[in-house]
Amino acid sequence: MQSSKEVLELLTKAKDMRLNIAIFAVSLAILACASKDLVTIDSVSETVLRGLTFITSVRLVYGVIGLIYSYFQNRQEEKEKLAKAAEDAKNAESKSLRNRENIRSAFETLDIFQLYIIQELKRQNHVQVKKGAPLFTLKNFNIIYTPAVGERYESASLTAVAKDILENELWRRFDELKFNALVRFFEGIQPEDARHFQDFLSKDSINTKRFNRSSAGSHFYDNERVFSNYSNSIIFAQPQRSYTYIIDPIAKGAIETVFKEKAEDTNG
């Protein structure tokens, strides 16, 4: 009796589905055979077998319910995963579009030095740029990246997004971007510097160095100090020739726009 009880307790702890099915089938088969007098079992064994049949049947029903629950739970989890993936993709696309629009808008605000770097990158894939505000601003705008960094210079290249924006939209508007940046620059320039640029209203090039035959030396005009500060900008045509500064046609147009308007306003 004690042995049968131990067997019953041990088997009721069995949680393996296949084992429970086997126990249920064997117990049910023995009970069926016993009811038809095909086999003989004592009352204790019959009680144990009936107990096993009941317990395993409960476990089987429980297992089936668990399988059904797991099936629907897995479907729900899969549905939630797909929804999350779709939401993540949507958010990523929105972020990409916002990033693209931010970069496109940033182009409209670039100054004469930053646009000079962009202009150079149209001619070649990489340019050496001196470390400074123009370079750092372009990097912060995600317009350029620098795959190689030196002590004083960095090798700059257009980011993929910036390059795509330029190729599909802004290269054909680049002269407009230059003109707007030049107008902003000349509108804010100090009067003592502005007078030197006004000389380009009547000239296309200005030499800032004069040779003095009597002293066998050379002399720099005051405009050299001003022009040299903007030599690497979209104001002047590139490449420069010694101390001769050739005005960029778009810059000359901006000078005419700003200083002629100011002259007209002054004259009433």
Q: pLDDT of 213-261, one tens digit each? A: 655 557 788 999 999 999 999 999 987 777 899 999 999 999 999 998 6
Tell me what pLDDT residue 263 has. Answer: 54
Cβ contacts of 126 within 8 Å, gap of 6 or more: 147, 155, 156, 157
Beta strand segments in the chain, E: 127-130, 144-149, 153-158, 205-207, 209-212, 217-220, 244-246
Cβ contacts of 114 within 8 Å, gap of 6 or more: 134, 137, 138
Tell me what pLDDT residue 157 has. Answer: 96
Tell me what pLDDT residue 131 has. Answer: 93
Tell me what pLDDT residue 42 has. Answer: 75
Tell me what pLDDT residue 24 has. Answer: 77
- The ranges of the chain with pLDDT < 70 are 1-15, 211-217, 261-268
Tell me what pLDDT residue 53 has. Answer: 80
